[in-house]
Amino acid sequence: MKTVYITGCDRGLGLALAGTFVDEGFKVFAGSYIPDWPELKELKNTAGKQLYILPLDVTSDVSVQHAAEEIKRISPRLDVLINNAGIYTDQDGDAFEGFDFDAIRRMHETNTLGPLRVSQSVLPLLMRGDNKLLVNISSEAGSITDCKREKEYGYTMSKAALNMQSVVLQNQLKRFGIKVLAIHPGYVRSYMLGRFNTEATVEAADSARGIVQQLFQQALLDGPIFIDYQGQRLDW
């Protein structure tokens, strides 16, 4: 049975990705940060031993290592890693009003350093996998070429840095057959804003199915890295 490790699975896109991979027959390791949120436990009730829920705070070295050790205890390899956990704060200020540097740091710690921390923790397992896919859930907000925003400094910079991280990882890991992708999931109806975003245009289930479809296609080591959930190449 193939294996996938997904961070940030309590709700929204992460939950949808976990459910989609269960349906595809994968053994799913699901990182959980909000233990009181019920939906992941409900998925566990139907998925049974196909789904393992792991307590995970991607900003904590200790938490990330504990999760990695638990995966190693259960499986000798990992086929796919999806760094999905992320936060968004739109009240981080601007050049005239001043900045909330604490909010900006939190976004970088979660959105940029979190994926790097998790990726390193399971790299030996990924190298022994069949698919060898390392996926960072990025955003069109990380595109420097297409940026039209006048605020949202913390989020946009954290995703641009995640994109650079993806390129550097690909440069280093392609010799081992690992393909790195940075995927924009679309404007997903989720809790990314801290509340459910009813203005978004893409259902989490549709985004998850699109992402999984892209992963099941042949991922060329020298192929595009920054794409959207429908496979369209995005500008850096």
Output b/e per residue, 172-209; b: 16+ Cβ within 10 A. ebeeeebbbbbbbbbebbbbbeeeebeebebebbbbbb
Specify if 183 maps to a domain. yes
Specify if 146 maps to a domain. yes
- pTM for the predicted model, two decimal places: 0.95
pLDDT higher than threshold 70 for residue 218: no
pLDDT confidence of residue 222:
82
pLDDT in tens, 144-180: 999 998 889 999 999 999 999 999 999 999 999 999 9
pLDDT in tens, 70-100: 999 999 999 999 999 999 987 788 899 899 9
Specify if 193 maps to a domain. yes
Specify if 235 maps to a domain. no
Specify if 190 maps to a domain. yes
pLDDT in tens, 112-152: 999 999 999 999 999 999 999 999 999 999 999 999 988 89
> 10 Å Cβ neighbour count for 24?
14
Specify if 203 maps to a domain. yes
In terms of residue numbers, what domain contains 206? Answer: 3-228
Specify if 154 maps to a domain. yes
Query: What mean pLDDT comes out for the span 177-196?
Result: 83
pLDDT confidence of residue 153:
94
Query: What mean pLDDT comes out for the span 181-190?
Result: 88
pLDDT confidence of residue 163:
98
pLDDT higher than threshold 90 for residue 191: no
* Angle made by CA atoms 152, 10, 190, in degrees to the nearest 5: 45
pLDDT confidence of residue 89:
86
pLDDT in tens, 11-29: 999 999 999 999 999 999 9
Q: Could you give the number of structural domains in the chain?
A: 1
* Cβ(152)–Cβ(92) below 8 Å: yes
pLDDT confidence of residue 14:
97
pLDDT confidence of residue 233:
96
* Cβ(228)–Cβ(183) below 8 Å: yes
CATH number, residue 203 = 3.40.50.720
pLDDT higher than threshold 70 for residue 195: no
Specify if 205 maps to a domain. yes
Query: What mean pLDDT comes out for the span 210-231?
Result: 89
